[in-house]
Amino acid sequence: MTTSVVHPLAHGDSVIHRIDPRVRLLCVLAASVCIAATSRPGPLLAACALAAVLVLVARIPWRPLWRRLRVLNAFMAIVLLTVPFSMQGETIWQAGALGASREGLAQALRIILTGNTLVLLLTSLVATIEPTVLAHALLHLRVPDKLVRILMFAVRYIDVLNDSRLRMDRAMKARGYVARCNAHTVRTSAYLVACLLAQSLDRAARIERAMRCRGWRGQFPVLNHFHAGARDVRFACLFAGALAAAMVMP
């Protein structure tokens, strides 16, 4: 019954998967800054196309991709329904007292385009990194050691705790529990959370002992190192070129 929550998208060997994770992270960061800072439709459309190409190259399965885009675009639907009507400007469509403005519509479309582009980029370049590898990459990018250790522990134990949650979930269902909007459900959820909390703290205490048994003195040694090669540099140059080209679009 173990279904892992913590697994990278597309356990694949696409070109993207083979690029140094540090390079991919830096590419997404640079692109995020550029895309967030631009407001003209040309560059946004070009960047969105670039992100879509990367998603195709990384061979992201459509089901998780669709799930992500659905989460984002449920919110974007609200943006599209509110922003055109609340922004001042040239009215292009009148519905009773409400008028949609051209500027508002443009703003809403800009938000939708930006959001989708950034999510596609994150999905293709970063979500395809094995989480433990990502942690190491962050360590090499000078993210504080303690923060990365918290990430490593979390990645390590999310599945352990989640399996436990799923087993308790089944045991509850087997005893006729159905989540409803009532006090019994609130109390039951609280029991579940308290159980998970107690389990995680007990395990943390045992882990701390296991670490002491193996001579831990307060520092976490690092063994793995990354080596960026010619392919990674080529990818970075290509990505930078494409991004720059997108940004100068009319």
Partner 1 sequence: MNDPAIQVPLIRVRNLAFRYHAGRPLLEGVLFELRAGERLGVSGANGSGKSSLLQLLMGLERPAAGTVELFGHLCRDEVDFRPLRGRIGLLFQDADDQLFCPTVEEDVAFGPLNQGYSHAQVRGIVARTLADLGLAHLAQRPTHQLSGGEKRAVALAGVLAMQPDVLLLDEPTTCLDEDAQARVTRLLLGLPQAMVIVSHDPHFLRCVASRTLLLRDGALCAMPVVRPVLRSV
Partner 2 sequence: MHISEGVLSVPVLAGGAMLAAGAIAVGLKKLPDERIPQAGMLCAMFFVASLIHLPVGVSAVHLVLNGLCGVLLGWAAFPVIAVALLLQALLFGFGGLSVLGANIVVMGVPAVLCSCLFHAGFSTLTPHQAGLRGALAGGGAVALGIGLMTLALWLSSGTAYWPLIGTVLLAHLPVMAAEAAVTGAVVFLLARTRPTLLAPALT
Q: Does 6 bind partner 2 (CB under 8 A)?
A: yes
For the segment 147-186, give every residue that binds partner 1 (CB under 8 A). Answer: 152-153, 155-160, 164, 167-168, 170-178, 184
For the segment 38-77, give every residue that binds partner 1 (CB under 8 A). Answer: none
* Options 3-11, 32-40, 104-112, 238-246: segment touching partner 1 (CB under 8 A): 3-11
Size of the site for partner 2 (CB under 8 A): 85
The burial of 21, by beta-carbon neighbours within 10 Å (0-12 exposed, 13-18 middle, 19 or more buried), is given as buried
Query: Please, what is the angle between helix 102-121 and helix 21-37, to 10°?
Result: 180
Q: Does 76 bind partner 2 (CB under 8 A)?
A: yes
Q: How far apart are CA 53 and CA 120, in angstroms?
A: 9
Residue type present at position 211:
M
Tokens encoding 127: 């979500």
Q: How far apart are CA 99 and CA 112, in angstroms?
A: 20
CB 224 within 8 A of CB 136: yes
Q: Does 222 bind partner 2 (CB under 8 A)?
A: no
Q: How many residues does the chain have?
A: 250
Q: Does 217 bind partner 1 (CB under 8 A)?
A: yes
When CB distances are held under 5 to 8 angstroms depending on the partner's kind, the choice from partner 2, partner 1, none that residue 185 binds is partner 2
When CB distances are held under 5 to 8 angstroms depending on the partner's kind, the choice from partner 1, partner 2, none that residue 59 binds is none
* Options 14-22, 83-91, 226-234, 238-246: segment touching partner 2 (CB under 8 A): 83-91
Q: How far is CA 173 from CA 20, 38, 169, 196, in A?
A: 45, 50, 6, 17
Residue type present at position 73:
N
When CB distances are held under 5 to 8 angstroms depending on the partner's kind, the choice from partner 2, partner 1, none that residue 67 binds is partner 2
At a CB cut-off of 8 Å and minimum separation 6, what does 113 contact? 41, 44, 45, 48
- Which residues make up the interface to partner 1 (CB under 8 A)? 1, 3-4, 6, 130-132, 135-136, 152-153, 155-160, 164, 167-168, 170-178, 184, 188, 191-192, 194-195, 198, 203, 206-207, 209-217, 221, 223-224
